[in-house]
Structures are given as structure tokens and as C-alpha cells.
Chains A and B, each alone.
Chain A
Amino acid sequence: DGGITQSPKYLFRKEGQNVTLSCEQNLNHDAMYWYRQDPGQGLRLIYYSQIVNDFQKGDIAEGYSVSREKKESFPLTVTSAQKNPTAFYLCASSIGRDSYEQYFGPGTRLTVT
């Protein structure tokens, strides 16, 4: 069954700790994306990657880092520099350039106290 997996569904961390959110896809998609959703707001793009070993900053990349060592994996690290890390994080993928439809994972709700 093809799809996008994000784990865990809920994550709790203490302030000052880095935390890595997992995103895996078996759709053979070239492009992958990380979004953040806050209450009453739309999805905001953190980072995206069109191909392996390449990624670009989105609108709110500060305090986050990513890697794309494998086509199927695009982990997101929320660093201690991110001032408001508590949010719902969504990973998505698409076939690649010129493909507009994005497929989303179930999301990870991160709570930092």
C-alpha cells in the first residue's frame, strides 16, 4: 500500500532539546515537503526538496533543518533555535517538478514544554 508515513503521531519534548520528525514515502516521488500548521492558520512551508541531496528553504525555515539522503526519506529536525516549536507538522510528496498534486502524511503533533 503506497503512501506517506510520519512517526510518531504525538511527540513531547522539553524546551532546549532538538527533535527529529520522521517522514517516509514509498510512492517513488521525487519531491518532498514539510509544512507547519498552527491553529487558525493555513499550512506554511518550512522546507522542500525536489531531488535527493538538494533542498530549499520555504517561508519559515528558521530554527529547522532537513536532510534528503534517500529518495524515500525527508526527516525534519526542530532545533532549540525554533522559538515556537509546538505545532502540527505535515510532510507531503509529489511526483516532482511540474506536478502540482501533493500527497500528505497523517502529521505529527509536537508539543514542547
Chain B
Amino acid sequence: DQQVKQNSPSLSVQEGRISILNCDYTNSMFDYFLWYKKYPAEGPTFLISISSIKDKNEDGRFTVFLNKSAKHLSLHIVPSQPGDSAVYFCAASGSTGNQFYFGTGTSLTVIP
């Protein structure tokens, strides 16, 4: 059973506009959430994280929002750039951080 879900397999956005990637989870014990970016034939690279005690974390053009009551998080990229085109995975973990559960990924295409 998929505990972390990314329901949009793909997203296309015009350069300069906002990209919003969504992620839902089912386990209320998840305490820590991360976003990873992945290019083809490469390993994922860490992008941004948020713990359950916060509802927002910002790093440059990237902002992650967490809505614990809805078990939903989103990644906002503003402004979107062609180099942002990649697959984005969200991941969630309990408090020990021993095991992460990954979503299926959303492929973002930023159109120049």
C-alpha cells in the first residue's frame, strides 16, 4: 500500500511561472518530509525538507508547505526555469529517520 502518493505523473509549466508539485501521505506518524530532484540515469539529489513542527520552509526559489491535518505537502518553485525540468520525488519518514517512503514522482517540464 502506497503510503506516499504523488497523483500527478507529469506537469508542464511556462518558464517564469510558478510550478506546484503535490504530495499526499496516509501515515499520521510521519514526522519529516523531503523533496528530491532526479535527472534521468542519475541518483536523486536533496532539494528541501520540512519537519512536522513547521508548516512552511523556504530556500531560494523553492518553498515547501505542509498541511498536517490534510496530510498534504506541496513544493512551489518560483520562478520556474528550464533547468528545473526533472522528476521530483517527495519522501516521508517517522521520527527515527530509519526508513523513508517515497512517492512515485512527478515529471516537471519547464517550457522556455
Interface residues of B (CB under 8 A from A): 2, 4, 6, 9, 32, 34, 36, 41-46, 49, 89, 91, 93, 96-105
Contact = CB atoms under 8 A, between A and B. Distances in A.
A48 interface: yes
A37 to B, nearest CB: 9
Interface stretch (A14-22, A66-74, A75-83, A102-110): A102-110
**Could you say which interface size class chain A belongs to?**
20 to 34
A92 B46 CA distance: 11
A41 B4 CA distance: 11
A107 B99 contact: no
Contacts of B93: 100
B49 A41 contact: no
Interface in A87-113: 90-92, 94, 97-107, 109
27 contacts: A35-B102, A41-B104, A42-B4, A42-B6, A42-B89, A42-B103, A42-B105, A45-B100, A48-B99, A58-B99, A59-B99, A91-B43, A94-B97, A97-B97, A97-B98, A99-B97, A100-B32, A100-B93, A100-B100, A101-B34, A103-B46, A104-B44, A104-B45, A106-B42, A106-B43, A107-B42, A109-B41
| Candidate in B43, B45, B99 with the most chain A CB atoms within 10 angstroms | B43
Contacts of B46: 101-103
B102 A42 contact: yes
A15 B49 CA distance: 40
B101 to A, nearest CB: 8
Interface of A: 4, 6, 9, 35, 40-45, 48, 50, 56, 58-59, 90-92, 94, 97-107, 109
| Candidate in B49, B103, B104 with the most chain A CB atoms within 10 angstroms | B104
Nearest to A58: B99
A100 B99 contact: no
